[in-house]
Amino acid sequence: MNNNKNFFGEIPSIEAFIVKERLKKGIKFELNKFDCLVIEKVRCLCRNAENLIKDINYQKFKESMSKLIKLDVKIASYLFFLIDDYFLDYRIIHRLVDKESLKDYYASFSYEENLNTFKVIYHG
């Protein structure tokens, strides 16, 4: 087991992480004001996940893990869109994440993706 595993909330600078991952893919777009709004959403989700982890106990473990995975799914989806500068309309990203993220989260395990290393249930 990898005891050095990091989770999304432990990324020191989400902005720097996104820019670095974009550059690896040859995407040279700087962060814009819309990216920053989505990054704030990611930070909020990370804080929610951290608070949930602090409150996990054996009595509500199953419920807490279900909530934690749902948060992890959303964080991974938002970061995917931010890294690939994929979405055209920032007004609809929240609907896309809510609708497609769970399916995409599990599908991404079948191919190499850097975001996988930060996912709660990935132990590659």
Q: Is residue 108 part of a domain?
A: yes
**What domain range includes position 35?**
12-116
Between residues 102 and 74, which one has the greater pLDDT?
Answer: 74
Q: Is residue 74 part of a domain?
A: yes
Q: Is residue 51 part of a domain?
A: yes
Could you give the number of structural domains in the chain? 1
Q: Is residue 6 part of a domain?
A: no
Give the pLDDT confidence score for residue 1 in this predicted structure: 44
Mind listing the pLDDT tens digit for each residue in 6-46? 788 999 999 999 999 999 988 888 898 889 999 999 999 99
Q: CB under 8 Å to 115, separation ≥6 — which residues?
A: 76, 79, 80, 83, 108
Note if the pTM is more than 0.85. Answer: no
Confidence check: pLDDT of 73 > 90: no
